[in-house]
Amino acid sequence: MSAQTIDALPAVPGLAESREDQRRFAQRRRALAWRRRLLPIAAVVLLLALWEGGVAFFHIKPFIAPAPSAVAMLLVKKIGLLLQNLAPTAIEAVSGFILGNLAAIVIATVFVYQRTLEEAFFPIAVMVHTIPVMAYAPILVLLLGNGVEAKIAIAAMICFFPTLVNMTRGLRSVRPQQMELMRILSASPREVFFELRLKNALPYLFSALKIAAATSVIGAIVGEWIGATTGIGALIIQATYNFDSPLLYATIVVGSAFSALFFGLISWAERYFLKWNVGEAG
């Protein structure tokens, strides 16, 4: 309840203290909301100031650890180059995100209805997930070539397992009372899936999608480390070999910013599509 709404309430005897408590509660909620927004910003500013001061005080060479001001100047100077290299990485990450999560949703649905298949193939999925991405990335490059397909496949594989686990759990976490009600209402298997199982699994799914939004960018960058000539990953390798630390840090900042933007987009979609679950999703 906003402060304006509280002030508009009629002055009924005995409600004065209640109105004052509600006003204090609304003010405290606003103060806490601003605190949650401002504290991370203040922490980032403090860390950047300490970094800037430490580089100047200890006379650290720019090729070892450039000052934030130098990184910011290079960001402005070479923003065109950075965005040009971000474009292929973003395409690979988003494509891998879509492909990996769609495959995970389909397979999770099959697992829920066919336990034999789950018992046979889920351990294989776990085993593949335990392999470090740097181990199977060269294999995918050999199989799919050094084009964009291998990078998309690497991003998809990184996204796949968390969504598979969460989606399977979400589809299964239906209470027996809910299933019994659907039987009483003579619901078809399609209605049970879309109206009950899928809706129940959406909070689990969005939790996995937020993880996948960040890991898909990591997968695309790792894939670009193996022979790519463009992209954020390729630019990181070039800057490292040339001892161009300001460019290296600026490239990392651009990649992280895109990853955070992608994560924020999925979080917004979660709040938009799960308004009925706002208490848990928010």
pLDDT given for residue 6 in this prediction: 45
CA distance 79 to 209: 29
Whether the CB-CB separation of 251 and 85 falls below 8 Å is answered with yes
Give the domain ranges of the chain: 3-57, 68-281
CA distance 186 to 149: 46
Two tokens at 72? 């910011």
Q: Can you count the helices (H) and strands (E) in the chain?
A: 13, 0
Q: Which amino acid belongs to residue 149?
A: E
CATH architecture of 68-281: Orthogonal Bundle (1.10)
- Residues 6 or more apart whose Cβ sits within 8 Å of residue 15: 9
CA distance 157 to 128: 9
Q: Is 147 left (phi over 0), alpha (psi -120 to 50) or beta?
A: beta
Per-residue model confidence as pLDDT tens for the chain (282 residues): 444 444 444 544 555 567 777 888 788 888 888 888 888 889 989 999 999 999 989 888 888 889 999 999 999 999 999 999 999 999 999 999 999 999 999 999 999 999 999 999 999 999 988 998 888 888 998 899 888 999 999 999 999 999 999 999 999 988 889 888 888 888 888 999 998 999 999 999 999 999 999 999 999 999 999 878 899 999 999 999 999 999 999 999 999 999 999 999 999 999 998 886 654 544
Q: What angle do CA 48, 54, 57 make, to 5 degrees?
A: 140
